[in-house]
Amino acid sequence: MTKQTLTKEKPEKKLTTNLKRRAGRGSSGRITVRHKGGGVKKIYRLVDFKQLKKDVSATVIHFAYDPYRTAYIALIQYTDGEKSYILAPQDLKEGDTIIISDKAELDPGNRMKIKNIPVGTMVHNIEFMPGKGGQFIRSAGTSAKVAAQEDKYTTIEMPSREVRKIHGECFASIGTISNSEHKYKRIKNAGARRRKGIRPTVRGSAMNPVDHPHGGGEGKAPIGLKAPKTPWGKKALGVKTRRRKSTNFLIVKRRVKKKR
């Protein structure tokens, strides 16, 4: 699947909505992610991550670009006439038939309970809690590998090389997500970044001491600290940020950190 095979038709009106622009702001209205704002106007496609229509086959109509995500999406139509958007796996083609069932064929796009997926199969859009919809492996070119089946849990290897257990009743889709070339794309100029809604970033060392812990000094001075800090004085490197510790027992092996 390439960019040339994507449809140029307008998205399905019933499967779109307008999102209110919040420019990096949280629920309180305060900026929680800096350097966001502006950009071109975008329409949000309602992608079905749950896919609850079991044992009803669907046909792939076409593939489309989604401005809100890195992966391509596919428009499918069920035999009862209902349409929906799903994440498009790599080897899926127009006219192919997919199905959601407790146990199905190992064809790209099919979705089934993870306990029924053979060891070594690549999967994506994995549920973390049964019935909640896919939460893992949803970005371009990613997939997880089913590593083992034991009791009521399935062991999977994540793209980060983390090995964790998932409840066998959770659903997962077969295949690797499309647009694997996305990681090689580079934003060529400042205008392209602004159109994506990314505002300019200023180095902390170029600021005054009152504005950033790295600021101050004459000329191109070092930060003057043992370790870098955020604009609010907190440590910026090597700090654990994981808060959800209730699921630690499901992690078999932690992800491998890249050496600097």
Q: Is the pLDDT of residue 2 over 80?
A: no
Is the separation of the CB atoms in 68 and 42 below 8 Å?
A: yes
| pLDDT value at residue 103 | 93
Count of beta carbons in the 10 Å neighbourhood of residue 240 = 5
| pLDDT value at residue 1 | 73
pLDDT tens digits for 122-165?
A: 999 999 999 999 999 999 999 999 999 998 999 999 999 999 99
| pLDDT value at residue 260 | 60
Q: Is the pLDDT of residue 110 over 70?
A: yes
| pLDDT value at residue 5 | 86
| pLDDT value at residue 259 | 67
Lowest-confidence region among 76-80, 202-206, 237-241: 237-241
| pLDDT value at residue 179 | 93
Domain residue spans of the chain: 3-181
| pLDDT value at residue 242 | 81
| pLDDT value at residue 58 | 95
pLDDT band at 77 (very low <50, low <70, confident <90, very high): very high
Q: What is the mean pLDDT of the chain?
A: 93
pLDDT band at 176 (very low <50, low <70, confident <90, very high): very high
| pLDDT value at residue 241 | 81
| Percent of the residues in the chain that have a pLDDT greater than 70, as a whole number | 99
Alpha-carbon span 108 to 87, nearest angstrom: 11
| pLDDT value at residue 101 | 95
| pLDDT value at residue 4 | 80
Superfamily covering domain 3-181: Nucleic acid-binding proteins (2.40.50.140)
pLDDT band at 256 (very low <50, low <70, confident <90, very high): confident
Q: Is the pLDDT of residue 32 over 80?
A: yes
| pLDDT value at residue 6 | 92
